[in-house]
Structure 1
Amino acid sequence: MSELLNKAFTLLSLLKPREGKKEWGAAELARLAGFNPATTHRILQDLQQYGFVSQNQENKKFFLGPFLIELGFHAQSLYSIKDVARPFMEEIQNKTGESVYLNILVHSYEAMLIDSVDSDHQLRVYEPIGLRLPLHIAATRRAILAFMEPGEQEAYLSHFKIELRTPKTIHSKEALVEELSLIRERGYAVSFGETTLGTAGVAVPILGPRGVEGSLGIATPEVRLNDEKIAEYAELLKCKAKSIGALIGGS
């Protein structure tokens, strides 16, 4: 890659909104990148000419431009999460023999099952495509809730209503908050008998350009899930979810 392109991409990367900040001064960007201020300003002006960067005319600070939004929409249309995830789900099913589920976040309070690869065991777990349940119920949904932005998660918790899918469903806000903290700490969620008695699941979040986009999970009868399998499945799911997230534009 040419030196000029490398510098341009570095500046675009530094312009990504973070920690509540979305505009950056040229001198600040030069300092962060370790570039000459004059060179930095010239590159920013070139990027602005093609719509990659915009400038606030009041404070003269720079932010990501509209052309990147257009490119993002085109890229997203080429790589839907379902299409991207399917080969990885088939790999997981081939390796474990268990059912594999893909859920996405819906309206910030539910998750919907949009794809699955069924187990080849005679005794297996089955959930219908299109199933929608609140985010506190079972591993595939709590993996999403645990990694939502703090404000969104707090909004869900503040309106949390006890909804028992089965007697094993988490039934108090205190227990849910404790469980979400554990999920964030270890990077995966586990549940037993919360959607259907006798079933169990292990799930991890899928992180995309807008944060947590959904979850990837393994569902199995309780009798086939022990501590050794949980650890094995969690690592496998983390690896595949990271690959999916990268392909849909996640960090």
Structure 2
Amino acid sequence: MKSAEKALSLLKRLGDPPYELGLKELAEEVGIGKSGTYKLLESLRRQGFVIQDASRKTYHLGPLVLRLGNVYSQYKGIGDIALPVMESIMERTDQSITLSIWEGERAFAAYKRTRPGKVYDAIDFIGKSLPINAGASAMALAAFQDPDRIRLILEKVALEKRTPYTITDKERLLEEYEKIRNRGYSIEDEVFNLGDFSVGVPIFDRNNAVWASMALTAPKAEASPSNIEMWIQILKNGAEEISDKLKFRH
């Protein structure tokens, strides 16, 4: 494996939970010698790709990765289009709004809009990969990918049980994806975090492909039938607005 490939392997590993690992763990998981791993991490640290926590002796992704991620999402045409829509939905619903992107075989959190004290206000997960069996945005993304491709992905990943309600049976998960496709949105009831309720919708590009999704997350206590119906419709309208603008972007 070339040095560039080794460095990218380290960055990809730090992009997955738990997002922070020590030198020994990184070397073992990526399959690189400890001394070689250290040299690569030092090079990445100097360039701003990773940050070392001296007290914990661990590494996590640095600010340059986030900046590159922002450049990518702007290149895809989603950022400047989606953010005003997300802001408007947040204002109308008084709930937290997130936008996620599908890249390769994973879902990544790209943007969020939330008020102080609301769900996700103090949680920094932007740029991180999301489990495809939990969370309305990731579920909406995975559901609209090619089913055969998703089956192959599920054969390779271990499904995390975040709460007692998280689906970890792969056949059940595929059935849930089918339900999401049929109704056009995902519903997440304490599947990602206990006490949270989310709904998510796909965003279609001009080729009718789905590589982005938008979700609303609220305290479960506020998820009345009338609110859920309203949230779904507002999200659908917002997703259509983003989709229509994306179709004229490229």
State the TM bucket, normalised to the shorter chain: 0.5 to 0.7
Contact 2:190 2:197 in 1 (8 A): yes
Number of residues of Structure 1 aligned to a counterpart in Structure 2: 173
Please tell me the residue identity of whatever aligns with 1:144.
L
Aligned to 2:210: 212
Name the CA distance, whole Å, in 2 between partners of 1:79 and 1:131.
18
Name the CA distance, whole Å, in 1 between partners of 2:77 and 2:176.
30
Please state if 1:124 is matched with 2:122: no
Aligned to 1:237: 235
Of 97, 107, 114, 1:111 maps to 107
| Bigger CA radius of gyration | 1
Misfit runs of 4+, over 6 Å: 76-79
Contact 1:208 1:249 in 2 (8 A): yes
Contact 1:189 1:204 in 2 (8 A): yes
Contact 1:201 1:217 in 2 (8 A): yes
Q: Which runs of 5+ in 1 are unaligned?
A: 1-75
The verdict on how the C-alpha distance between 1:118 and 1:80 changes in structure 2, with shifts beyond 3 A counting, is same
TM-score (norm 1): 0.63
Aligned to 2:149: 152
Of 124, 133, 136, 2:133 maps to 136
What is the deviation of 1:231?
1.4
Q: Which runs of 5+ in 2 are unaligned?
A: 1-72
Name the CA distance, whole Å, in 2 between partners of 1:178 and 1:160.
17
Please tell me the residue identity of whatever aligns with 1:218.
L
For 1:14-163, what aligned pairs fall within 5 Å after superposition? 80-108=77-105, 110-119=106-115, 122-126=117-121, 127-128=123-124, 129-163=126-160
Contact 1:112 1:133 in 2 (8 A): yes
Aligned to 2:176: 179
Name the CA distance, whole Å, in 2 between partners of 1:158 and 1:78.
32
Of 123-132 and 177-186, more deviation after overlay is shown by: 123-132
What is the deviation of 1:182?
1.2
Q: C-alpha offsets along residues 195-234 of structure 1, whole Å, 9 cap, x if unaligned?
A: 2221111100111145111110101111111222221111
RMSD of equivalent CA atoms = 2.2
Aligned to 1:22: none
